[in-house]
Amino acid sequence: MKKIYLDNAATTPLDPEVFEAMKPMMLEFYGNPSSTHAHGREVRTKVERARKTVAELLNTTPSEIFFTSGGTEADNTAITCSVEAYGLKHLITSKIEHKAVLQTAEKLEAQGKVKLSFVDVDSQGHMDYDHLNSLLKDNSRSMVSIMHANNEIGTLNDIARIGEMCKEYDAVFHSDTVQTMGHFKHDLQALTCHFIVGAGHKFNGPKGVGFLRVCKSKKIGRFVEGGGQERNHRGGTENVYGIVGLAKALEIAYRDMDSHAKHIQGLKTRMIEGLKNNVSGIEFNGDIREGHSLYTVLNASFPAHEDNDMLLFNLDINGISASGGSACSSGANTGSHVLTGIKADPERQGIRFSFGKYSTAEEVDYTVEKLVEILNPVHA
């Protein structure tokens, strides 16, 4: 049986070139980078070289890059530490953000530290920029946390526009860029955004490592106690081989981005056409137009059917890995908060197919073929 992986938005396969870069850090360069002897110093050099690589790719300075355990920690840190450091009393986000942002915001509100406001989104997941402007205008100095691309439906937000709005109202701006890091080029000298984040495993790097970019105009306190690592901000011995792997993966992603983007967008377009032509009643969640959507993500909405709950399972037993869920029904605690947030039909099954540089046209065609068989077993 074929094994097809179409869940690259969850995690990506490790690039062999990245693995080769990581191996010496596992076997040869094993010193603690905080140690002052030769073994430690040579490893410290590797960490700082990786930091410089990430900074140069993003057109920022190494002093603004802090390595973390991943995107979740980076999001938590940016929001919580900003509220504490600047005494912010108003936090603006949306109901379709990643849970790393939503749950952090809700916790701060429950603790009485902030007033929480949600900017409106339309049925495709686009921000209502006029509403955002009114929220910024009508409240005291705020923090805005809006993602660059939605991880479930792929809709892109204009973070350059949001950044300029935040600048006008002297608001702190954080953007969860986990899904676009390594897939879009971020020029941080041109972008007004105080905090962005990355996670290595989203662009064919290792799991368990990420980074937070803190704009030099912003200062935050220590976010992990226990040592002087990461310029006295994040205690704990660094994940050295993870850091080296992340930097190498980002370097490869930037090097090959144009060709990979063309290849992956072609696969997404192929699947859209395949589903339109072969699955009656198919719809798509989010804005699927090229240039308005993350090219790695396609969220398909299948018609209400008695076997909807088994659709992902049936794909799995046919060797196809994807993810998804329906909008939350009234009073339900499960389901997709993103599809609920855009008022998707809770009776329809939403499935996210997400593509990567190793995905192929043959895999897309096979997946469409199997979906037809599963949905129409008598006529397949």
Tens-digit pLDDT profile for residues 21-49 = 999 999 999 999 999 999 999 999 999 99
Q: Are 300 and 351 in contact (CB under 8 A)?
A: yes
Token pair listed for 21: 């870069």
Give the pairing type, strands 195-199 and 210-214: antiparallel
pLDDT at 143: 97
In sequence order, which residues have a C-beta less than 8 Å from that of residue 44 and are 6 or more positions away? Answer: 33, 34
Q: Are 215 and 59 in contact (CB under 8 A)?
A: no
pLDDT, mean of each 10-residue run, the chain (380 residues): 94 98 95 94 97 98 97 97 95 97 98 97 97 91 96 97 97 98 97 97 98 94 89 92 98 98 98 97 96 97 76 94 72 77 91 98 97 74
Sort residue 312 into left (φ over 0), alpha (ψ -120 to 50) or beta. alpha
Q: Are 52 and 211 in contact (CB under 8 A)?
A: no
Radius of gyration, CA atoms only, the chain: 21
Q: Are 95 and 102 in contact (CB under 8 A)?
A: yes
- For the entire predicted model, the pTM comes to 0.94
pLDDT at 361: 98
What DSSP element (H or E) covers 107? helix 99-110
pLDDT at 380: 44
- 190/160 Cα distance (integer angstroms): 9
Residues 214-273: tens digit of each pLDDT: 999 998 988 899 888 998 899 998 999 999 999 999 999 999 999 999 999 999 999 999
- 40/171 Cα distance (integer angstroms): 41
Domains of the chain and CATH, by start:
4-12+257-375 (3.90.1150.10), 16-255 (3.40.640.10)
Helix (H, G, I), strand (E, B) or coil at 279: coil
Q: For the chain, give the longest Cα–Cα distance.
A: 71
- 337/101 Cα distance (integer angstroms): 13
Residues carrying an active site annotation = 328
pLDDT at 379: 46
pLDDT at 228: 87
pLDDT at 138: 81
Q: Where are the alpha helices (DSSP H) in 329-378?
A: 337-341, 361-375
